[in-house]
A and B are shown apart, each in its own frame.
Chain A
Amino acid sequence: MDSGAVEDRYIEGMIRTAEELGPYIVVAPGVAMPHSRPEDGVIRPCMALMTLHEPIEFGNPENDPVRLVFAFGAVDNEQHVGALRQLAMILGRFYDELGGIDDLLKAVTPHELLKTMLDALPEADVLPSQIQAERR
């Protein structure tokens, strides 16, 4: 929100989504992805990551408690798909090959966390300009 990627009302949209549709935003064990519809105030595609030192129950019996939160905003059905694909590749590796997301939670700084994530991404998939943008 502070970077101007979404309007204030997008936050309300995300909360409304969670209330109306239930805790389905907990898309994997320990991981929630709050979002709403593009028309709820998204200015440009964006994603924010937060780790929770104190895990939170979202009301999803299969995947609670939540320890990693990826909030995102989409402007349409396409522009954010590349970013989601990379995120899915990274988290897929953690779940299927690295035994879960514990290593992501060990990171103390945002930079460390990003590095742990990018290290898990196949090199061919990392665009230098993208890393720069993400590390700013």
Chain B
Amino acid sequence: MSAIEILAVCGHGVGSGVLAKMTIERALRKAGVPESDYHVEIADIGTANRREIDIYVTTSGFGASIKEWKRERQKLVLVKNLFSDKEMEKALLPVFQEVAASKS
């Protein structure tokens, strides 16, 4: 399976995107997903539209614009608390597993 590409999206690529990336990585590590199975990057909303991405993770403020242009196969995960590993696990893991199943 090729690694699942995850993009943490925020306004400037230095704040909430960084927090999201940390929480994503912690949640996947806790769930026992091997690091080679995924790759997490950070982007600001202006440069987030990328063909190779499998899952976008962001807060609801950016969700609407991502929905406008994301491709059908690309998933969108919205979280409200970027510090909560629990919330990230709950929101991301089912989607991650679905994408993993479709890629294998």
Residues of A that sit less than 8 Å from B by CB = 17, 21-25, 27-29, 31, 33, 35-38, 60, 62-63, 72, 74, 77, 80-81, 84-85, 88, 91-92, 94-96
Complexed CA–CA distance, A7 and B22 (Å): 29
Given contacts A60-B61, A85-B22, contact A92 B16 (CB under 8 A): no
Tally chain B residues at the interface, Cβ within 8 Å.
25
Q: Between A and B, how many residue pairs show CB distances below 8 Å?
A: 77
Q: How far is the CB of B26 from chain A (nearest CB, A)?
A: 8
Complexed CA–CA distance, A85 and B14 (Å): 12
- For A27, the chain B residues whose CB sits under 8 A away are 15-16, 19, 59, 81-83
Cβ contact within 8 Å between A62 and B80: yes
Residues of B that sit less than 8 Å from A by CB = 10-16, 18-19, 22-23, 26, 42, 45, 59-62, 80-86
- For A92, the chain B residues whose CB sits under 8 A away are 23, 26, 83-85
Given contacts A24-B61, A27-B59, contact A88 B12 (CB under 8 A): no
Which of A28, A36, A72, A74 makes the CB contact (< 8 A) with B83?
A: A28
Q: How far is the CB of A31 from chain B (nearest CB, A)?
A: 7
Complexed CA–CA distance, A88 and B26 (Å): 11
Cβ contact within 8 Å between B61 and A22: yes
11 A-B pairs, CB-CB below 8 angstroms? A17-B11, A21-B45, A25-B15, A25-B16, A27-B59, A33-B15, A38-B14, A62-B60, A74-B15, A85-B22, A94-B83
